[in-house]
Amino acid sequence: MSFGAGVPTVEVGDLADGDFLLDVREDDEWEAGHADRALHIPMSEFVARFGELTEAAPQDGKVHVICRSGGRSAQVTMYLAQQGIDAVNVDGGMQAWAATGRPVVDDKGQPGFVA
C-alpha cells in the first residue's frame, strides 16, 4: 500500500525490538490492541501534544509511525519530516503488525486485537 512518493516507509518485519514506535490511532483503537512499547498520541490530538513526542523520542533516532493500515501514519510522518524529525511510516500499520505475529496488548496489558 502506497500513500505518496515522498513518504519514507518501513516494513513491520524490518523493525527491531528497540525501535521507537509512535501509534497515532484513536483511543478506542489503542484500548483494543497496540504494540506494548508504543507511545500513543492520537492523530486528532497530535499537534497539541507534539511536545510529548519530542520529550519521549530518541534524540538521534528514528520515529516509526503506525496507525491501523498506514494512511494516518503517513500523514503524521510527512508532518514530522517537515518539522525536521527523522520519521518513517510503518507500511500496513497495526494490521500488518498483527498479521506478522507481533504481540498486541490491550489497555490492561492483556492480549488485544486490532480494531
List the catalytic residue out of 53, 67, 74, 90: 67
For residue 113, how many other CB atoms are within 10 A of its CB? 11
For residue 108, how many other CB atoms are within 10 A of its CB? 7
Of 17, 1, 36, 15, which is closest to residue 88 (Cα–Cα)?
15
What's the CA gap between 106 and 12, in Å, rounded?
A: 19
Q: What is the dihedral of CA 52, 88, 26, 97, to 10 degrees?
A: -120
For 10, phi and psi rounded to 5 degrees? -140, 145
- State yes or no: is 67 an active-site residue: yes
Catalytic site residues?
Answer: 67
